[in-house]
Structure 1
């Protein structure tokens, strides 16, 4: 047991570089043991006393048995002998430079950017091999049409904070078409209080193109998302740690859209960090019908003249 604990600590702490994974709601420790549920995901740098880089994101997530008939599902991998869940989500993300009040371009900092997209998703679990495979197809837009300016200005007026004035320099409108596939394997589980998983992920498209590899762990009164049925216990409360290493190929929130080259200011390809980093931690509380999470995130700088950033988030869900 002592060796296992030592392995667990070293593995998690040694993975010190990774890439931003905004609103990662498909990983196993966030599983809801039901084919029909709704969850609201919200992230903001306010939780970390900041207002720059990844400033805000939200996601409305819906899983239903009837979504098995979604015509988009032909794009997804559906392994035999696996449990399957089908979902849709509406997601919005926003980014700002450090000096968001100035009307001038913030050279050397990241550009203003926001994107909104509709996601179709599938989660499959092979309980014999302890494998979790998920896929998603995202369709949306990046640019002023994603109303990032209206969202941030409205929130700052409501909270009495400084009004952002630099959105006129944001990434211009362009289409978002992205495909994502992820694989997760349970490595170790100790009774109902500790588990360790390896995970990998590939994103390809006009918004993000990257590949990642990492680990996540849970400890406490944990869930068992790799089994046919979870524990009969209705109450679960556990912490999690996650660290992911990613190779970055393209990031439209920095470099602008692939098809529209009219953006006033972007980060050049040569300035983008090709290996960046993120780790996260938090706690999750579950009952048979309710889900609540609080989490914190840290990311290393994503371009040469940038800086590291941090933010936090909450997730609230219920089954039906």
Structure 2
């Protein structure tokens, strides 16, 4: 049952979910890669706290995704989701499989502190659409909608995955997986809209831009409303959606276009981002939905600070991001710190 604080968050969620349906935009403009030159993009993304020499809270996530070229989405599918994505521009579909893992601050004890982050794993598959719309004067909006289906609990194979990796890298064996969340079907709908403005020249041929975004998640995994922005500096390629991130961020940034005639052979940029979330539900803190399990008192407002670099050359894009996430529950020892790597290739 939702608490009073959670109920007050729901109008924000409704506004974030319904807003794209009523947003107005001009008709699509020419500028995206053509169907003849566009190709699918495969991306492997890994986020782990090993980069910060910790092993707690959100400790590991991995996802393999494919983003289609333009022209691969049936009109019937586009018509079905148009109330969520608004005016239709250039549409691609995305599909992915992934796994997230969460552990308490001390993995060496067999019976973890019940006031600490519960052990949990989430295994999922997802499918979504990414709508890129030119709105004039070089401005664009990017709207993504994604549905993830999977399982949380022992069937997500978090214990096997973590113990195997720790054996390989000679880290302490986690002892408390017997107290993980129970098996539960996992359903999650993500929505996000991002505004992209043309990069402005700062000096020489180096440019900078700012991309704000809003989003929402709805399901028994996460329910929250989000808002944030990303600042970039360097030589960002056209049609770059920003650094790929794992959920609770909305996936959809895996696509990148090839260099155009007026682009440099190598594109690169440094970036810094911030996102705030008003959280109504986080199953990895609230515990199982339909049966008793370990849980903690979560924070209703959570923020992420991130910074990193992106390099694109030919058909390859490499990304690194460092993240600091504010405390997510009462009694948490400190912020979560983790790094993320991704490698994308246009096949």
TM-score by length of 2: 0.77
- Of 147, 150, 157, 1:137 maps to 147
Aligned mates of 1:193, 1:299 — CA distance in 2: 28
- Distance change in 2, residues 1:247/1:314 (3 Å): same
SS of structure 1 residue aligned to 2:199: strand
Q: How many residues align?
A: 284
Unaligned runs of 5+ in 2: 1-31, 242-256
Residue number in structure 2 paired with 1:64: 68
Trace 1:33-44 onto structure 2 (pairs within 5 A): 34-44=38-48
Residue number in structure 2 paired with 1:243: 274
2:232 equivalent to 1:218: yes
Q: Is the 8 A contact 1:175 1:257 kept in 2?
A: no
Trace 1:162-311 onto structure 2 (pairs within 5 A): 162-187=172-197, 189-191=199-201, 193-225=207-239, 231-259=262-290, 261-263=291-293, 265-267=294-296, 271-306=297-332, 307-311=334-338
Q: Deviations over 1:174-205 (max 9, x none)?
A: 11111010011135630361010111110000
- Of 102, 105, 127, 2:112 maps to 105
Unaligned runs of 5+ in 1: 1-31
Residue number in structure 2 paired with 1:47: 51
2:339 equivalent to 1:312: yes
Q: Deviations over 1:248-300 (max 9, x none)?
A: 000001112322x132x212xxx210011111110000023001011100011
Aligned mates of 1:127, 1:198 — CA distance in 2: 16
Higher relative contact order, structure no. (Cα contacts within 8 Å, ≥ 6 residues apart): 1
Q: Is the 8 A contact 1:132 1:226 kept in 2?
A: no
| Aligned-CA RMSD value | 2.3
Aligned mates of 1:110, 1:282 — CA distance in 2: 27
TM-score by length of 1: 0.83
Aligned mates of 2:59, 2:75 — CA distance in 1: 32
Residue number in structure 2 paired with 1:93: 100
- Distance change in 2, residues 1:311/1:131 (3 Å): same
Aligned mates of 1:48, 1:308 — CA distance in 2: 12
Q: Which ranges of 4 or more aligned residues in structure 1 deviate by more than 4 Å?
A: 32-35, 69-73, 226-231
